[in-house]
Amino acid sequence: MNKLLMIVLALQLTGCATARTLDAAKPGAPVVYAGTRLDLYAMNGGCCAMDRFGAEAPSYPGVDLPASALLDTLLLPLSVLTVIGVSFQATGGL
């Protein structure tokens, strides 16, 4: 059981659709629930994920779907603010 858990975690870390869509920053790509939408698009046989989402679909979208849905839900307030045009001028360091 422990090995199965490690394999699932390794697959999640290498192919999270939410992380891929956040890194893509493609103009016109969906923002709200983007990772979940990418997984569902791939599961339904979508052909052109790179053109639509700016990111490749994970190899195992069914395995990635629960984690992407959770992460997209946690990031929902930020993605809604992004869609309505609120921007943050965050800076860090000293």
In tens, the pLDDT along 20-70 reads 887 777 788 888 998 899 999 999 988 888 888 888 888 888 888 888 899
d(CA 10, CA 79): 26
Q: pTM (2 decimals)?
A: 0.74
d(CA 27, CA 64): 24
d(CA 85, CA 12): 30
Q: Which positions ≥6 away from 73 have C-beta within 8 Å?
A: none
Do 16 and 70 touch, CB atoms closer than 8 A?
A: no
At residue 77, does pLDDT exceed 80? Answer: yes
d(CA 44, CA 92): 41
Q: What is the pLDDT of residue 11?
A: 58
